[in-house]
Structure 1
Amino acid sequence: MGVLVIEQWTQFAGLAVRRIDAGDGDSAGRAYAFVNPRPRITAQGAPDAYHPEDTGSGCLRDAGWPGPDWRQRLVADPYQPQRPLRQDAGGYPGYFVSTTALHDARFPRTSAAAYLDAGRVAYLALPQAWLAEDGAGAPGDFVVVHDRGSGRHSFGLIGDSGRDRAMGEVSERMASDLSGHRAEARSGRGAPAGPLLCVVFPGSRREPAWPLQTAVIRTRCQQLLRAFGGVAGLAPLAASVAGEE
């Protein structure tokens, strides 16, 4: 581990974003980080996320239905394009097909199996406007998120983006990792205590970026984090990024 250089990069959505450099000249030792004081949970991509009767694990209003913005988060029915597509097979018939920016190209875009299941995959969601910034990364890049309240952490990916995304929404699985309890977007149950340190490794995406086994994600995140002191270095890193040291 080299000497960590943490410097102010920019402000986005009211959050200070800082660049981190391990000072070893290796691109693997570079990242950026921010502290999210009010983490939100998303069910996006889960096959049971959104139901027309609003009985899914996520609130239907978060999908934009029946408003004008639902096409950002739901698949349109090919035969009735003015309405979202409903699943007719699998474990959740009748539920809408909820999308994520990162997807599995082996499946058609109309299949719920193409998208990251928020209940099973630890992912971070970032605003589209932020990912348009040079150096912000892209869906599929690796991330490590640390809950300063619980001291727990989660290894994952940038999994989703959108125009109306909050900076640093966490999937239900990532929220569960951080709180130690099963999380649900609708009720907020199992939400991480926060605030959350979000460390993003831009340019770390693999090809293909998805699917990846959980063990592969964990191993790669641990490798990337090693330059910053590993898991043990997350708490002091969070304090530094928050400007407390």
Structure 2
Amino acid sequence: MRRFFDPQPFSQGQQTVLGEDASHHIARVLRMQVGEHLQVFNGQGGAWDAEITAISKKAVTVLARGFDAEDRAAPRPVTVALPMIKGERMDYALQKATELGAHCFQLLTTERTDVRLDGDRQEKKLRHWQQVVVSACEQCGMNRVPRVHAPLPLDAWLAQADAALKLMAHPGEAPLANETLHAADSLVLLTGPEGGFSDTELHHAARYGFVSFALGNRVLRAETAPVALLAALWARLEG
């Protein structure tokens, strides 16, 4: 069944006019018809089975018929902090990390970050990346949509990062101890830019309580690291 995100309340037995994005996708892109069934979710957990009851030029109306309360959240809330990456590789990192259960994303600028955004260009990119995350949730079954936060300088973010366990991926470090991981009820996962972190950045992260660790002895690409590391963390927590 096709799934659509629309950030508004739904109630069983009541008809709801969907917002512009969901309506456009249903009526203009997919060309769905009155009477077809779909699922809608608003990011608060769970999802509604619904039926299309009307399609106009500007909006789609659905009737919510039943609620599926399954949350489908990851075993721990994890903030994925990653420097901005060039081109479609940024889309890939956000999409796949969402599919793997990221709670939210903090974008960063570092000494070796090549992508720099400001003003209208930054706002346009943030809207695009948030839509990438929404589409990933619609596809994978996640019912809570991670927020993509505007870029911050790494040093400024390190001082305010807050979680029971703050992890920093860096090649050459020791693996993470299982006891350390299982004891934490919330996580921050910081991954590096193309070119890696500088020695100064590694020192600052350690000063703010970040634990450096590695996944094997290979150097992962900037867009691969958050995806592979999340998969490894969940495998160890759920294994």
Larger Rg belongs to: 2
TM-score bucket of the superposed structures, by smaller chain:
under 0.3
TM-score, structure 1 normalization? 0.23
